[in-house]
Amino acid sequence: MATMADVARRAGVSLSTVSYALSGSRPVSDATRARIFEAMEELDYAPNLVARSLKGRRTRIVALLLPTDDSDADPFMTDVITAAAETARQSGYHLLLWTEPFESSTDLQTFVRQGLVDGALLLSVQLEDERVAVLQRDAIPMVLIGRTAEPDPFTFVDTDTEQLTDTAMSHLAELGHRAVAYVGPPPSELERRYGFVERIQTELETSAGRHGVELLTCHPERGPAAGREAIGALLFDRPDVTAAVVMNDPALAGVIQGAQAEGRRVPEDFSVLGLLTSALVADATTPATTAVVGSPTSIGRLAAEAIVEVLEGGGAAMPVRQELVGCELVVRSSTAATAATA
């Protein structure tokens, strides 16, 4: 690898002149610049980012904090990550993967102190997130994807859960449903105090109330069998329930099958609506599941934009950016008007 000194020698100028030609931070005559660029060309020169980082005291690398035990969110996460990486790259930044189980932030602590990363993007933020405290202690700029219990004064990007739940409930209410099952994530997710899950629960209740709908909650484990069982038990108790809102991809098919096993046709007698259901899963059920989905791509992009903005902003006091990303109803074939309505 050629260095700047090689280029300088070849072009017959000093090291610093090469630097100025490259950065433009001081004027360089056209003739000199031409010779320098020619020399660079001939030597296949590319500036060494490590040296630049050392001198500039910033690496333009952002850590992507990825909890390893959050596999439910996989398809969603991939899109977030890809979009974030793309966006960051366009601004000259890079994303460095930092995977770790949910609780164990001492490693994170020593990691960020090593100065490899300028900032961090936090995925799957929990209501009380240790990682936030750790980063805050060392004043590492960060952007959360998700929200902590007390969102201020952090910059975050999150799905607009209020819109999400409201889109879901209005859709069902308009179709005439008055008693709806909420099939939530498995119990293990609840214990983790994952903000997203709790927010959905309360806002779903609020929204149901507003639409005059009664909501009945259950939290089956992963897998279709658990889904079948949960909806079966629920329908046995409450045969007046005519629809289910499902935020549990692994159990989704089970919910449909369970309802069918109770003698309900889907969607004629019983509607099923997915929440943040991955397209692959929604299309795999019979019938295909109508769902309200977020926009992982926008989230990734916005998060990357936000962290870049913070890092480029230098010391300037910036307004904290808190963005909610809208949701969309993707109509497939699992919801329909109730008999009463139709």
- Would you tell me which residues interact with its own copies (CB under 8 A)? 1, 44, 46-51, 53-54, 59, 61, 64, 66, 68, 71, 74-75, 77-79, 81-82, 85-86, 89, 94-99, 110, 113-116, 223-224, 249-250, 252-253, 256-257, 278, 280-281, 283-286, 288
In the list its own copies, DNA, none, the entry touching 16 (Cβ below 5 to 8 angstroms by class) is: DNA
In terms of CB distance, is 48 or 286 closer to DNA?
Answer: 48
Q: Which residues contact 342 (CB under 8 A, 6 or more apart)?
A: 176, 336
CA distance 79 to 181: 29
In terms of CB distance, is 22 or 329 closer to DNA?
Answer: 22
Shortest CB 18 distance to DNA, Å: 7
Decide: is 52 part of the binding site for DNA (CB under 7 A): yes
Shortest CB 67 distance to DNA, Å: 29
Task: Tell which residue, 70, 72, 68, 76, has the closest CA to residue 297.
Answer: 76
CA distance 36 to 264: 77
Prior bond to 27 cis, omega within 30? no
Both tokens of residue 281? 């899963």
In the list DNA, its own copies, none, the entry touching 154 (Cβ below 5 to 8 angstroms by class) is: none
In the list DNA, its own copies, none, the entry touching 28 (Cβ below 5 to 8 angstroms by class) is: DNA
In the list its own copies, DNA, none, the entry touching 82 (Cβ below 5 to 8 angstroms by class) is: its own copies
Cα–Cα distances in Å, from 138 out to 53, 176, 225? 19, 53, 46
In the list its own copies, DNA, none, the entry touching 3 (Cβ below 5 to 8 angstroms by class) is: DNA
In the list its own copies, DNA, none, the entry touching 213 (Cβ below 5 to 8 angstroms by class) is: none
CA distance 225 to 174: 30
Burial 77-111 (b: 16+ CB within 10 A, else e): bebbbebbbebbeeeebebeebebebeebeebbeb
Q: At what angle do helices 249-261 and 224-237 cross, to 10 degrees?
A: 50
Residues that bind DNA (CB under 7 A): 1, 3-5, 12-17, 19-20, 22-23, 25-29, 31-33, 45, 47-48, 50-52, 54-57
